[in-house]
Amino acid sequence: MEAERRYSFGGRSGGDDPTEAPEQDATEEQPERVVPDDTPVDIEGAFRDSNVQEVLDKLDRELVGLAPIKTRIKETAALLLVDRVRTGVGLPAAVPSLHMSFTGNPGTGKTTVALRMAEILHRLEYIRKGHLVTVTRDQLVGQYIGHTAPKTKEVLKKAMGGVLFIDEAYYLHRPENERDYGSEAIETILQVMENQRDDIVVILAGYKDRMERFFENNPGMHSRIAHHLDFPDHTAGELLQIAGLMLEEQQYRFSPEAEAAFREYLDLRIERPNFSNARSVRNALDRARLRQANRLFDAGGRGLTRKDLMTIEPEDIRASRVFQDAASGTEETGTDIR
């Protein structure tokens, strides 16, 4: 049975400060177990017993595309599984560093992958709980002297045994502000990334160019990140598939004409400012549902069927301002294109 880890804030002995390395128990050394080299191993059985395939299948269903990302997740799972099998036959298995950087535009699936990664690590017994704690700068950095360290440690305490996902991590570093306390949060996180890397995985996420500058200014953080995953933007075809899955989840569907209209919408919307991949698709579908509801209401309920309640028609899509602006040659620069 796994020994219980204890953390504290304040006292040193018997304390729970996540920035301190856990004390090693003074136990008698056991004689080394000799295992013959021809001892059979069952990797397939270990993989089956871990139920990791269930999580990988779930990731495939949840996320369209992203083949390179899914491959990296599977490779990581394979490494941990093999290490587990090695330990079972008396071979050494060093604790790998699994801290990660996820870069890419909004709506590309970074949070979903982090959630499934936590589940995989838990099933392979790399972390104790497998929960995901998502934070931004506001949850880590205080407003005055002496506030940041306790605030950051409290977040780390909640994340112990799981995965800490820091979105837009580059906002922790603000060199232009001499009175900013983000560097204190970074230092506290770095200590835990090094001392407790067998009990917490830290994932830093954000836009690629900004994350690169962040790592340039914080080489200590960069050196502790073992895996850099870059999430590509979705193609229009992938986004159309994502839209279909979102509608299916809510028991809606496109008519054939509406599906063609939504593909046109995507081709136009991708080229406009502030496009956020799957997030923008979800927003567009929410507005289409509003237009559909208004259309059905205006019809007065005459001759409507269950199918009508489920079907998005082309007029629900083409009423978008994206089509209107394209026809007039104007370009919307706001954050919300309807």
In tens, the pLDDT along 162-173 reads: 999 999 999 998
Residue 184 and residue 151 in contact, taking contact as beta carbons nearer than 8 Å: no
Give the model's confidence band at 335: pLDDT under 50 very low, under 70 low, under 90 confident, else very high. Answer: very low
Residue 280's contacts (CB-CB under 8 Å, 6 or more residues apart) are: 107, 269, 274
Rounded to an integer, the average pLDDT of 113-121 is 95
CA distance linking residue 213 with residue 224, whole number of Å: 16
Structure confidence at residue 338 (pLDDT): 52
Query: Is a pLDDT exceeding 70 seen at residue 98?
Result: yes
Residue 277 and residue 107 in contact, taking contact as beta carbons nearer than 8 Å: yes
Rounded to an integer, the average pLDDT of 210-227 is 93
Task: Convert the pLDDT of each residue in 272-306 to its tens digit.
Answer: 989 999 999 999 999 999 999 999 998 876 788 99
Residue 54's contacts (CB-CB under 8 Å, 6 or more residues apart) are: none
Report helix, strand or coil for 101. strand
CA distance linking residue 90 with residue 192, whole number of Å: 29
Indicate left, alpha or beta for 122 from its phi (over 0: left) and psi (-120 to 50: alpha): alpha
Rounded to an integer, the average pLDDT of 100-106 is 96
Rounded to an integer, the average pLDDT of 234-255 is 96
Query: Is a pLDDT exceeding 70 seen at residue 71?
Result: yes
Strand intervals (E) in the chain:
100-104, 132-135, 163-167, 201-206, 227-231, 253-254, 311-312
Query: Is a pLDDT exceeding 50 seen at residue 252?
Result: yes
Rounded to an integer, the average pLDDT of 71-97 is 89
Helix, strand, coil tally for the chain in percent (to 5): 50, 10, 40
Rounded to an integer, the average pLDDT of 112-141 is 94
Structure confidence at residue 25 (pLDDT): 55
Task: Convert the pLDDT of each residue in 16-66 to its tens digit.
Answer: 677 666 665 555 566 666 878 888 889 999 999 999 999 999 999 999 999
Query: Is a pLDDT exceeding 60 seen at residue 102?
Result: yes
pTM for this one?
0.82
Structure confidence at residue 328 (pLDDT): 77
* C-alpha torsion sign, points 120, 121, 127, 130: negative
Question: What is 37-99 written as a DSSP string?
Answer: TT----HHHHHHHHTHHHHHHHHHHH--S-HHHHHHHHHHHHHHHHHHHHHHTT---------
- The burial of 236, by beta-carbon neighbours within 10 Å (0-12 exposed, 13-18 middle, 19 or more buried), is given as middle
Residue with tokens 């990302």: 69
Query: Is a pLDDT exceeding 60 seen at residue 8?
Result: no
Percentage of the chain modeled with pLDDT above 70:
87
Give the model's confidence band at 6: pLDDT under 50 very low, under 70 low, under 90 confident, else very high. Answer: very low
Residue with tokens 């991949």: 277
Structure confidence at residue 253 (pLDDT): 97
Average pLDDT of the residues of the chain: 87
Structure confidence at residue 9 (pLDDT): 36
Structure confidence at residue 232 (pLDDT): 95
> Out of 118-127, 173-182, 264-273, 290-299, which region has the weakest mean confidence (pLDDT)?
173-182
Query: Is a pLDDT exceeding 70 seen at residue 151?
Result: yes
Query: Is a pLDDT exceeding 80 seen at residue 251?
Result: yes
Nearest to 109 by CA among 163, 76, 68: 68
Residue 231's contacts (CB-CB under 8 Å, 6 or more residues apart) are: 66, 69, 102, 103, 104, 105, 108, 109, 110, 113
For each of the domains in the chain, give its residue range(s) and CATH number, in order of start: 43-231 (3.40.50.300), 236-328 (1.10.8.60)
* C-alpha torsion sign, points 291, 269, 245, 104: negative
Residue 336's contacts (CB-CB under 8 Å, 6 or more residues apart) are: 274, 283
* C-alpha torsion sign, points 71, 72, 75, 77: negative
